[in-house]
Amino acid sequence: MIGADPCFIGRGGPKLLYKGISCTMSAATGQKTERNRPAGVEPRRRKRFAPAPPSVVQRRTVHFVLIFVTLVLVVHALVGEKGLVESMHARQRHRAAALSLEAVRRDNARMREEVLRLKEDPAAIESLARQELGLIRPGEVLFIIKDEKPTR
């Protein structure tokens, strides 16, 4: 098992287990051995080369691209398909629809009350017949008064 062997040497040769102790494998015997390093001696490592700093043109190009992308995102957030302007219009349409619905509900309730009154109250039926149809009771006299314009 790989994890159980503290001196496992996989591909790549000797491994540094922890500071000061490394494992090697003898080519002649095939035996794994541990050896201690003298204090202050570090294993040899490859030198890492730092990448060259970006030029002024590259930096300006990157800044320009970042500013352009930011502007595109801001404009899209404001006027895009689900942007701020569209959401404001949607809220306005919702408020208008809610007000219209409330008006229809009030009108519906008024009509229900009128139907109930006409079903139960004969005086309401008589009043409606007099107003809408111009009916009168037997024995009543109808007077029609015409307004005349004064002559000069």
Of residues 13 and 57, the one with the higher pLDDT is 57
Q: Residue 115 — pLDDT band, cuts 50, 70, 90?
A: very high
Inter-residue contact 33 to 24 (CB < 8 Å): yes
pLDDT in tens, 32-86: 555 666 666 776 777 888 888 889 999 999 999 999 999 999 998 888 888 888 8
CA distances from 70 to 19, 51, 139, 140 (A): 48, 28, 88, 85
Inter-residue contact 54 to 62 (CB < 8 Å): yes
What is residue 89's predicted lDDT score, i.e. its pLDDT?
93
Q: Residue 1 — pLDDT band, cuts 50, 70, 90?
A: very low
Of residues 95 and 76, the one with the higher pLDDT is 95
Q: Residue 146 — pLDDT band, cuts 50, 70, 90?
A: confident
